Amino acid sequence: MAYDAKTLVRELEAASGKIPVDLIFENLRLVDVYTGEVRKTNLAMFGGKIVGVGVAKDTECAERVDCGGRYAVPGFLDAHVHIETTLLTPEALGQVIVPWGTTTLFVDAMEIANVAGNEGLLALVKDAHNLPFRIFLEIPSRVPTAPGLETAGAELGVTEVEQLLTLPESVSLGELDPSKILDIREEYLQKVCVALNLGKICNGHAIGLSADALNIYATGHLHDDHESVTYEELLERLRVGLKALVREGSSERNVLALIKGVVENGLPTENILFCTDDKHVQDIHKEGHISYNIQQAINCGLDPVKAIQIATVNAAKHFRLDHMIGSLTPGRQADIVLLDDLKTIRPAAVYKDGKCVAENGSALPTEQKSYPDKLFNTVHLPAGLSKESFAIYTQGKEAKCRVISLIQDQIINEEKQLWMPIANGEISASVPRDILKLSVVERHGKNGHISTALVMGFGLQKGALASSVSHDHHNIVVMGGNDADMLLAVQELGRIHGGFAAACDGRILGSVALPLAGLMSLENADEVMRRMDVLNEEVEKLGCPMASPFMSLSFISLPTVPQLGLTDYGLIDVLGHKITNLVLETKA
């Protein structure tokens, strides 16, 4: 945001009563995130900013609003989010998050960047000033995420990252996984140095690190981490100076465990932030956004004011934007959430720049902008794709295999080593044992790679599921009990230019098209939710008990989340950062 002297003169004139202010909120209880106080007062606004707290009753103004004794808190900040995994464009997303009080997103657009590079990223955030919420950019640091271990659609080198970091809305270098630091990979260290030299922070992704490794990681000037699953992990990160982002997404449910530990141990909360990271639109609609993190924290026994501080001023300070957002104090943007009850985080009204953008659970509509045509043609299936493409060939009668085992409500997984029967030279899925095939199909039109592994934990009794959303390379990932249905589900994604699909017994049960980069829909939020609900009902009929099966499917291929990942190159030993064997040994 640019400042100029003429505007500042007008703001000072309004603050000093020399000219009328635009708006005064009267009869409210202000939650002061700096002092922890809750006090009865008023707020005066001019030009979209707060210019007075507790101003004289006879202050001249264009409009007065009686807040009826409601609580006024700053707009909520999501400290780390991938917009693409909401399945919505930013224009549609505002309809869902703003009524829940979120007025600022810190966006790492690495998903669309991995598909379409700079052009995709810039198209996503173009005209963001027209949105009912703010976007600040965490510039993607790893496009591709795992060079040499996956095929992505694009690449952002040091030069491209440096150019993006100079954008006015850029505030940080996006999340950087441990291998880039612990293996001392100079290209990524150059990106860190570029960010530091531009006065920007560097976001972390310190998943699975020991205390010793965290020391090295923090030495690399990473400033935060959103991958804590246990309280002990959160504490270890704080001890080395990393800010701890407490995440609550669709398949990463961390607030209860982490905040329960914070409350039980009386841990200070000044260095804790909230984020969603990856959350589907239905979950936002039903539960809330950052408001849900706050509510869960309060339910754990955390003081409501502290929970609100975590969601507001803590994030603003971390990103060095507390001069602009994060508090209801003079000189800051008038991003305000009005609550009837401080212990029930359900906004009655939400304001951005002093203008009402949502009231009683409904947001003002935002016009859908246009996107470049090439972003709608990003799904290219390999020539000659057939059901045999998913076969696992080996010799013998039995094979000891590495199997990816899901952990409920988390994106991390465990490696299990299980014996699988071999029939006619092939290893097949074992549905009764909940061991299914998992394949990744390269869809960027570069090499046509296909790899197959085994996964357990989905509970699918029949059929197959496929997704063109698969972090972070976003090739097609497909899972199922038989090769024919897997092929059908993948072919459906080619037909609809990306999205989600379910197949069973030789027919498509349903699909949701995400044609924008194979990641997002151009439909409004209500229509996307309706389509997802219908598809999820079909998946439930297939025996899968998961609330967000496609979110879990989209993460299982990650080559940066322990213990195992699957890319088009093969099965990945995440902590070893290398391709590993599916079959460990066989018996004749």
Cα torsion through 364, 367, 371, 376, rounded to 10: 80
pLDDT digits (tens, 9 = 90+) for 19-75: 999 999 999 999 999 999 999 999 999 999 999 999 999 999 999 999 999 999 999
pLDDT of 347 strictly over 70 = yes
Identify which of 339, 330, 283 has the alpha carbon closest to the alpha carbon of residue 311.
Answer: 339
Asked which of 228-232, 465-469, 572-576, 580-584 is least confident by mean pLDDT, the reply is: 572-576
Q: Provide the pLDDT confidence category of residue 343 given band limits of 50, 70 and 90.
A: very high
Identify which of 31, 30, 49, 34 has the alpha carbon closest to the alpha carbon of residue 314.
Answer: 34
pLDDT digits (tens, 9 = 90+) for 403-450: 999 988 787 899 999 999 999 999 999 999 999 999 999 999 999 999
Q: Is the Cβ–Cβ distance between 153 and 117 less than 8 Å?
A: yes
pLDDT for position 410: 81
pLDDT for position 208: 86
How many angstroms separate the CA atoms of 307 and 244, rounded? 14
pLDDT of 400 strictly over 80 = yes
Tokens of 2: 């640019």
pLDDT of 484 strictly over 90 = yes
pLDDT digits (tens, 9 = 90+) for 86-143: 999 999 999 999 999 999 999 999 999 999 999 999 999 999 999 999 999 999 999 9
Q: Provide the pLDDT confidence category of residue 206 given band limits of 50, 70 and 90.
A: very high
Percent of all residues in the chain with a pLDDT value above 90, rounded to a whole number: 92
The predicted model gives 166-193 an average pLDDT of 96
- According to DSSP, the β-strands at 102-107 and 336-341 are unpaired
Across all residues in the chain, what is the average pLDDT? 96
What is the number of other CB atoms lying within 10 angstroms of the CB of residue 299?
14
pLDDT for position 577: 86
Buried b / exposed e along 470-479 (16+ C-beta atoms within 10 A): bbbbbbbbbb
How many angstroms separate the CA atoms of 437 and 454, rounded? 5
DSSP category for residue 215: H
Domain range annotation of the chain:
74-326, 377-587
How many angstroms separate the CA atoms of 532 and 536, rounded? 6
The predicted model gives 301-305 an average pLDDT of 98
The predicted model gives 525-552 an average pLDDT of 94
pLDDT of 560 strictly over 90 = no
CATH architecture of structural domain 74-326: Alpha-Beta Barrel (3.20)
Non-local (6+) Cβ contacts of 247 within 8 A are 80, 226, 227, 254, 255, 274, 275, 276, 277
DSSP helix/strand/coil, 262: helix
Q: Point out which residues pair with 586 in neighbouring strands.
A: 399
The predicted model gives 285-310 an average pLDDT of 98
pLDDT for position 561: 82
How many angstroms separate the CA atoms of 498 and 513, rounded? 6
How many angstroms separate the CA atoms of 96 and 153, rounded? 29
In this prediction the pTM is: 0.93
pLDDT for position 1: 67
